[in-house]
């Protein structure tokens, strides 16, 4: 009976999960092993930024940014009757720039010296090419208020 990596089937028995031995594949003839270039973990956070103005992060030359999560927290006053209408992430891949919009969701109440606060946390997968700028923005109906934002992910070799 041949054993695979994690499973063995015993004759006359139901499927039995038994860790018996580790069997590793051998390289094909005529091939060579290639070193794996591990990703570089990265994260970034912007401080208080005025609504409707981008917080910009330059993606280093030679590195592709893979974003795995973003967060925004925005606040606006109640007197202006303004509302946060969205949070956007702007990326450029293969020369095409796209803005990805996230709904701010329910109002959280007063905070940060303002009457209304909103928060968004998203797990996702977005890409930004080497030498481009990643832009994050909180959008408000009348530009009052401010937002904080950030992302986490990793850099990969972009060549």
Give pTM, 2 decimals.
0.69
Highest mean pLDDT among 7-11, 51-55, 108-112, 152-156: 152-156
Lowest mean pLDDT among 50-59, 80-89, 114-123: 80-89
Q: Structural domain boundaries of the chain? A: 40-157
User: CA of 107: how far to CAs of 24, 33, 83, 100, 120, in Å?
Assistant: 53, 54, 10, 21, 11
Mean pLDDT of 151-157: 93
Q: Which fold has domain 40-157?
A: Jelly Rolls (2.60.120)
**How confident is the model at residue 32, as a pLDDT?**
53
Which pLDDT band, with edges at 50, 70 and 90, does 79 fall under? low
For the segment 19-37, the average pLDDT, to the nearest whole number, is: 48
**Winning range, highest mean pLDDT, from 16-20, 89-93, 118-122:** 89-93
| Average pLDDT score over residue span 8-32 | 42
């Amino acid at each position: 009976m041949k054993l695979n990596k994690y499973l063995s089937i015993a004759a006359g028995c139901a499927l039995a999960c038994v860790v018996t031995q580790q069997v590793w594949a051998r390289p094909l003839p005529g091939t060579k092993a290639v070193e794996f270039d591990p990703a570089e973990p990265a994260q970034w956070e912007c401080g208080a930024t005025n609504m409707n103005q981008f917080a910009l992060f330059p993606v280093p030359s030679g590195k592709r940014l893979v974003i795995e999560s973003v967060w925004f927290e925005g606040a606006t006053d109640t007197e202006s009757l303004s509302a946060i209408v969205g949070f956007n992430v702007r990326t450029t891949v293969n020369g095409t720039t796209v803005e990805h919009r996230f709904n701010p969701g329910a109002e959280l109440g007063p905070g940060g010296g303002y009457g209304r606060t909103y928060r968004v946390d998203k797990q996702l997968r977005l890409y930004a090419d080497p030498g481009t700028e990643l832009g994050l923005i909180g959008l408000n109906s009348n530009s009052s208020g401010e937002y904080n934002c950030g992302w986490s992910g990793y850099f990969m070799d972009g060549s």
